[in-house]
Chain A
Amino acid sequence: MLFRIVRKSLRQHIVSTTVTALAIALAAGLVMSVFAIQRQTYAAFTGGDIGFDAVLGARGSQLQLVLNTVFHLETSPGNIPYSLYKEIAGNAQVELAIPYAVGDNYEGFRIVGTTEEIFTEFGFRRGKKFQPEPGGRFFDSDAQEAVIGSFAARETGLKIGDIFQPYHGLIFDEKNRHNDDYTVVGILEPTNSPSDRVIWIPLDGIYRMSGHVLRGAGENYTAQTGETIPDEAKEVSAVMLKFKSPQAGMNLDQLINRQGKAATLAFPIGRTMAELFDKLGWVNRVLELVAYLVVVVAAFSILAGIYNSINERRREFAIFRALGARRPTVFAVILLEAVSVAAIGTLLGYCVFILIMWATAFIVREQTGVVLDIFRFEWALVFTPLLMIIVGAVAGILPALKAYRTDVAENLSPVS
């Protein structure tokens, strides 16, 4: 019967109950989202299997190098000589070395010049290689052909057989259009990785792009049609590396970063990204603080909603008492109401959580290609409801005390 009393009361004050439950839903959804997003973005950017162990690039920031080559963000820190790529590719400790040359875009999607090995040898995830969708194929290294990531294809509308011109730089500006026609020969199946946002063309294509000048030899070199480009003139933006053993990475880290001065080796990639997240730890704390503040506001919403109704309900409590209900029973009814509103709100909070996660996943995917899993289990999804119910109970104490103190005789109907 106590639950029936609580249910009736919540229904009788439906507006107040709804508003309070929505406040709780927002708070619960926010708290769950903040923690889920923190954990998932950290895992996606630092711990995910991306297929490479390290990145070799120009001397400078490892973070910038990783962001530019693995996540296709940021600008390139510079170029390294082609000879360095050949040297590292020939290193006995290196299993796979794939060069990247960047600096062009199409409709904002980055164009990466590379070799066929990105399709034939590279696994973007353990045991998984890039696959073209039916009807497509990988590019021919000697042709002006392009293979497009699934997301880039969807957003640009490019289909197999379409011809497009690259644009110089990272911004889609008509003034920077190259006079080179590229034919789309393949669209990759989705990989749920940053590679979905990339347009892949042959490395040679970057070298021969109209307006591109190579400085690998220290002097300007412009490729001529039909002419073989000497290796010493070539440069690459980065070399993506896979090692034969973890020890190889440590050896090369020692050799290149500590002893050498010509290049930077970002190894391990996960640690580089983790350092970024450590630097941005304050952002997480601010987000958590905001979420907890919303919880406090929601708690006050419960308190205010129920407390304000106590005055109108004094007669109701007096009747309960006159029928034999003890003071603790009246206290328990109010506390149960507060907990019930918190529980209802928390259930709705899962809807808020899904909405926030969906929106966040959409934005993160749009901007980085990294995919967040909306329905992945997080402990926050268990602890948050418990937290909200405790918050509801605590918020209900003050109104419950007020109901507890209701004077029966004073609040029953007029005396004779």
Chain B
Amino acid sequence: MGTVVFLPGNGSDPMTLLVENLKKNFASPDGSTQAVVNIDHFVLGNAEQLAVEGRSGTGKTTFLNLIAGILQADSGTIAIDGEEMSGLSESKRDVLRARKIGYIFQTFNLLQGFTALENVILGMTFGPGADEEFALGLLERVGLKNRADYRPRQLSVGQQQRVALARALANRPRLVLADEPTGNLDSRSAFESLELIREVSLENRASLLLVSHDRRILERFDTVTRFEDINRATE
């Protein structure tokens, strides 16, 4: 079983993420219920960066979606920055997600009709509110200030991924979730992208929870947890 390591902090720093007795079932085609997520205990400390390794289909995305409040757990608790999410209504979970969570999707999920800058602004619109200057600053940090007016189809895959990163940080989140963020990139771009994600998350004091099955990426982390080790549903 992998080891969960906390970055040292003082006793007053709240844990960014605390998961307890989390369960999520889905209905199978034959009508039976199948457990997809069954996690007793999971924590992520303040500004901690953790990679979770797992094979495809083991429920990693479901786990991330539960943390993000996109899905509601059947039971258990999820607390973000001390704020209990699992008992909240969907609307309140949406608000919490807008304020505290940034999400980098596997295929980026950028809006094709919006420019890079507009995509980043969207990341903050439903939370702290649009701040064009801050959004431009993020694009500059990821090296895309000169591409601010470009639409996603006018950007390379690597550039799109950087826009997705900037968007994930636009609402100044406490927690960044990254679901296979380098899955569509070649090795060199993947490493560069990973370093950028880690650096920028650290600069913004956001904890990072990254899921991947790419060994080359996982090797870059000090702390890697195997999803099968924490998720009893995959036993």
Docked-complex contact A9 and B113, CB < 8 angstroms: yes
Give the chain B neighbours of A225 by CB distance below 8 A. none
- 8 Å CB contact of B70 from A1, A321, A413, A414: A321
A322 with B70: in contact, given A4-B118, A416-B179, A416-B183 (CB under 8 Å)? Answer: yes
Residues from chain B with a CB closer than 8 A to the CB of A11 are 113
Query: Is B95's beta carbon under 8 Å from chain A?
Result: yes
Q: Quick one: which of B68, B95, B98, B211 contacts A416, CB cutoff 8 A? A: B211
A327–B90 contact, CB under 8 A?
Answer: yes
Inter-chain contact B61/A324, CB cutoff 8 Å: no
In the assembly, what is the distance between CA of A319 and CA of B121, in Å? 13
Q: Does A59 contact B (CB under 8 A)?
A: no
In the bound complex, how far is the Cα of B54 from the Cα of A100, in angstroms? 104
Q: Which of B70, B121, B130 meets A408, CB within 8 Å?
A: B70
Cβ-defined contact, A323 with B113, below 8 A: no
Identify which of B60, B105, B122 contacts A412 (C-beta below 8 A).
Answer: B105
CA distance A318 to B110 in the complex (A): 11
Chain A stretch 383-416: residues in CB contact (< 8 A) with chain B: 408-409, 412-416
A328 to B62, CA, bound (A): 24
B111 in contact with A324 (CB, 8 Å) = no
In chain B, positions 159-207 with a C-beta closer than 8 Å to chain A are: 167, 171, 179-180, 183
Most buried by A among B95, B126, B183: B126
User: Cβ of B118 and Cβ of A409 under 8 Å apart?
Assistant: no
A215 is an interface residue with CB less than 8 A from chain B: no
Assess whether B77 is interfacial by the CB under 8 Å rule.
no
CA distance A301 to B60 in the complex (A): 43
The residue of chain B having its C-beta at the shortest distance from the C-beta of A324 within the complex is B98
Contact assessment for B94 and A409 in the assembled complex, using a CB-CB cutoff below 8 Å: no
Q: Which of A4, A324, A412 is in CB contact (< 8 Å) with B126? A: A324
CB contact list, B91-134 vs A, under 8 A? 91, 94-95, 97-99, 103, 105-107, 109, 111, 113-114, 118, 121-123, 125-127, 130
The reply to whether the CB of B213 lies closer than 8 angstroms to some CB of chain A is yes
> Does A262 count as interface, using CB distance less than 8 angstroms?
no
> B71 within 8 Å of A by Cβ?
yes
How far apart are A337's CB and chain B's nearest CB, in angstroms? Answer: 13
Contact yes or no, B213 A416, CB < 8 A: yes
B residues less than 8 Å from A323 (CB atoms) = 97-98, 103, 122-123, 125-126, 167
Q: Are B126 and A325 in contact (CB under 8 A)?
A: yes
Enumerate chain B interface residues (CB-CB to A < 8 A): 54, 56-57, 60-62, 65, 68, 70-71, 90-91, 94-95, 97-99, 103, 105-107, 109, 111, 113-114, 118, 121-123, 125-127, 130, 167, 171, 179-180, 183, 211-213
29 A-B pairs in the complex with CB atoms less than 8 angstroms apart: A1-B121, A1-B122, A8-B113, A8-B114, A12-B113, A316-B111, A319-B109, A321-B94, A322-B70, A322-B97, A324-B95, A324-B99, A325-B94, A325-B98, A325-B125, A327-B90, A327-B94, A328-B91, A409-B62, A412-B70, A412-B105, A412-B109, A413-B105, A413-B107, A413-B109, A416-B54, A416-B56, A416-B60, A416-B61
- Beyond contacts A8-B113, A408-B65: 19 other A-B pairs, Cβ-Cβ < 8 A, are A9-B113, A318-B109, A320-B122, A322-B68, A322-B105, A322-B109, A324-B95, A324-B99, A324-B126, A324-B171, A326-B91, A326-B94, A409-B62, A412-B70, A412-B105, A414-B107, A415-B57, A416-B211, A416-B212
